[in-house]
Amino acid sequence: MGYLLIKAALSGIIIAIVSEVARRAPGLGALIASLPLISVLGMIWLWRDTEDTARMADHAFATFWFVLPSLPMFLLIPVLLNRGMAFWPSLAIGCALTVVLYLVMVWTLGRFGIQL
């Protein structure tokens, strides 16, 4: 249980740092947020928990493919906000687009024999 709390606390601290830095300097906050810190931490926790090379390779491979469909959200949200849409609807639409693109990615890769 202690290990789980350490993982949660460290991950939460990173998110808090990003939000605090972004409040003062949006560009710097975005830079920190764009770093694959959560992905790297996830890989560290997964490796520590399993030491399974194949599982780690599968995880890193899937992470690559899932990053791609999440990128358009970061273009759509500012467009919606700049056109006067409120934050929460803009975020919801951006997230919905990401979910749709995830499904399209999984389906498309499946057609090529790639399972995530």
Per-residue confidence in pLDDT tens, the chain, 116 aa: 888 898 889 888 988 999 999 999 999 988 888 888 888 988 999 999 999 999 999 999 999 999 999 999 999 999 999 999 999 999 999 999 999 999 999 999 999 999 88
**Together in a domain, 57 and 110:** yes
Q: What is the pLDDT of residue 14?
A: 87
Enclosing domain of residue 9: 1-51
Q: What is the pLDDT of residue 44?
A: 93
Q: How many domains does the chain have?
A: 2
The one-letter amino acid at 72: P
Three-state DSSP class for 35? coil
**Together in a domain, 105 and 59:** yes
CA distance 102 to 66: 7
**Together in a domain, 58 and 90:** yes
CA distance 21 to 41: 20
> Which of 30, 51, 72 is the C-terminal boundary of a domain?
51
CA distance 66 to 103: 10
